Chain A
């Protein structure tokens, strides 16, 4: 379970301070696929990056499982991060290393013995369907394959939580779909909690069970994904759902199918 309490974060610019998050409270159940949706600049990226402290929060607390992440010192944080996988919009693979070495990297960092690493990398590459690409370098892979490597790397140390920072935003719709299927598959097989941020409604409707809407650095709505689509409460949610509805109505009109609905 992930519990976020009164989380605040602001950035100092040369002339003023910009508030990225103010008093964020959120509870994410173990094993959930939880989506955080918001428009650009709403603070969703800052929020997810606070969860493994790639961004240092100014105040508030974050608890993931038994760890109060916000109380850990550097060394404890490094250990805790092994159990918090993260995938990124830009994949962030190491170009100097093969697929195999990219996936082995977190295991080597954790100090596992070589035979274990060999077995584990093979197993995890099989899971993301890249068993035949172990010797390839990232520059030889497609976007979808790169993200699969990113996922394999994030899962290598058998984390309890997977953070997805716009992981499908750089991919085409078809690849996005296959990556989402993979995430869903992993969530089922490994009983892993997935927290993802996105600005794509498709992502939310495809795989998330629960979700939160973030707007101007605060959570304005939380609940199940069904509730969000059927009865959006917040301004941001209505705008998101409104865009979809407008297109749906127009396509019905264009196809003359409106009367049948």
Chain B
């Protein structure tokens, strides 16, 4: 172990957190829109539009069929257009957000479909508009399950940042490859792995905690 270890790890962790945080926010915004759109435009949904549904589904499947590392390369021009460079954490956020959004869209779709049809019918029966049903029924009713799904997605995004590190995104993944692998710094490799494990655990625990808190509130004894 050498004395640069802590500084390198700290910088890597900061970059990783930065990438995970912003990519999760953007991917979540996009993914929520995609997931909700998939559920409501389905045949028999709140706003049925089967053709649009097929189109969104096709788009999601296309992006999801590409290995992430290839997607990053494909999205480099977009990253350059948006942030002016293809290197560094900020550029990676562009690819990470777009790469993770379809995955989030699918798991949000699956989660929202678990909301009992009867609850939606009850809302329809009192004359609720499709928008009211989406925001006041569908999303709140699915919320604990949504939090769990989103936790899975944030962990996937954390993995993606490590992959993005391989082609110049920075962060812990980049640290492990540039130092741990290419410079044979086993101490850095090991420390990076430990930090990533700790990070993923922390995300999972937080997600579980939030989901539990929501459920506890809804079942609390008076």
Contacts and interface: CB of A to CB of B under 8 A. Distances in A.
Interface in B118-132: 118-119, 121-129, 132
B143 A54 contact: no
Contact of B219 (A88, A94, A106, A137): A137
A154 to B, nearest CB: 8
A109 B126 CA distance: 8
B140 A94 contact: yes
Contact of B122 (A79, A92, A110, A140): A92
B1 interface: no
Contacts of B4: none
A140 B221 contact: yes
Contacts of A90: 116, 118
B121 A82 contact: no
A153 B126 CA distance: 9
B126 A92 contact: no
B219 A140 contact: yes
A94 B137 contact: yes
Interface in B93-128: 116, 118-119, 121-128
Given A105-B136, A153-B126, A157-B126, A139 B118 contact: no
B64 to A, nearest CB: 29
* Chain B facing A: main interface SS: helix
B51 to A, nearest CB: 19
Contact of B126 (A88, A97, A105): A105
B219 A139 contact: yes
Nearest to A83: B127
Contacts of B126: 81-82, 85, 105-106, 109, 153-154, 156-157
Nearest to B120: A92
B141 A96 contact: yes
Contacts of B123: 94, 105, 109
14 contacts: A52-B125, A84-B125, A85-B125, A90-B118, A94-B141, A105-B126, A109-B127, A109-B132, A135-B222, A136-B222, A137-B217, A137-B218, A137-B219, A156-B126
